[in-house]
Chains A and B, each alone.
Chain A
């Protein structure tokens, strides 16, 4: 069965610093998609970044970037220059054709 593991239930970072959220997954597939979603307190879940497994280059969206290690089945999210608005629950997700499989989430608190 395909699984997604986020081993850090909670993390904290100072404003303007860099933080990395970990995610590992298990699959026998070769082509797939990976996502990081953000859920701010009492607000809608939104996409942060996505990675296609066939692309070797790591995806980047402004201050957000991923470190995708296909052989190790690792997909970590790096947030640079953390801002107070980055405080949220972050979910890593693996696309199994037809459905998303989510990790249990990492609650990130950005401290002023």
Chain B
């Protein structure tokens, strides 16, 4: 079974802090994703990565950056957290970008005060 883990289930940060959200997958998947989930908006893609050190912007990249130094690990970085970044963040991975099922982590609920 594919396992996708995220470093924290719940996180509380203050406005202006730098925030790191970590995601690790154990199935040697090439592709990894970061989504943001908000009520009434579904899931929206922030960034994805198709290889180590490679990244592509999704639909809402503003205020975020990512890092992929190792194949199994994909980090989401909030350079200066703001209250409008309070949300649920989901990481996912997949083997084939065009056709495959994406496997999700448990999510990190981030609150920015």
User: Are A50 and B42 in contact, CB atoms less than 8 angstroms apart?
Assistant: no
A44 to B2, CA, bound (A): 12
A62 to B43, CA, bound (A): 26
A45 to B41, CA, bound (A): 16
Q: Does B89 contact A (CB under 8 A)?
A: no
Find the A residue at minimum CB distance from B9.
A42
A38 to B19, CA, bound (A): 28
**CB contacts between A and B, total, < 8 Å:** 42
Q: Which residues of A contact B33 (CB under 8 A)?
A: 99
How many residues does chain B have at the interface if contact means C-beta atoms less than 8 Å apart? Answer: 21
Q: Does B45 contact A (CB under 8 A)?
A: yes
Provide the A67-93 mask, 1 if CB < 8 A to any CB of B, else 0: 000000000000000000000000100
Q: Which residues of B contact A112 (CB under 8 A)?
A: none
Q: Does B113 contact A (CB under 8 A)?
A: no
A95 to B96, CA, bound (A): 12
Pairs across A and B, CB under 8 Å, 22 listed: A4-B42, A9-B40, A33-B99, A37-B104, A44-B105, A44-B106, A45-B104, A45-B107, A46-B104, A47-B101, A50-B101, A91-B42, A91-B43, A95-B98, A98-B48, A98-B56, A98-B97, A98-B98, A99-B48, A99-B58, A100-B45, A104-B42
Using A33-B99, A44-B104, A99-B58 as known contacts, list a sample of 10 further A-B pairs with CB atoms less than 8 Å apart, ordered by residue number in A. A4-B42, A37-B104, A47-B103, A50-B101, A95-B98, A98-B56, A98-B98, A100-B43, A100-B45, A103-B42
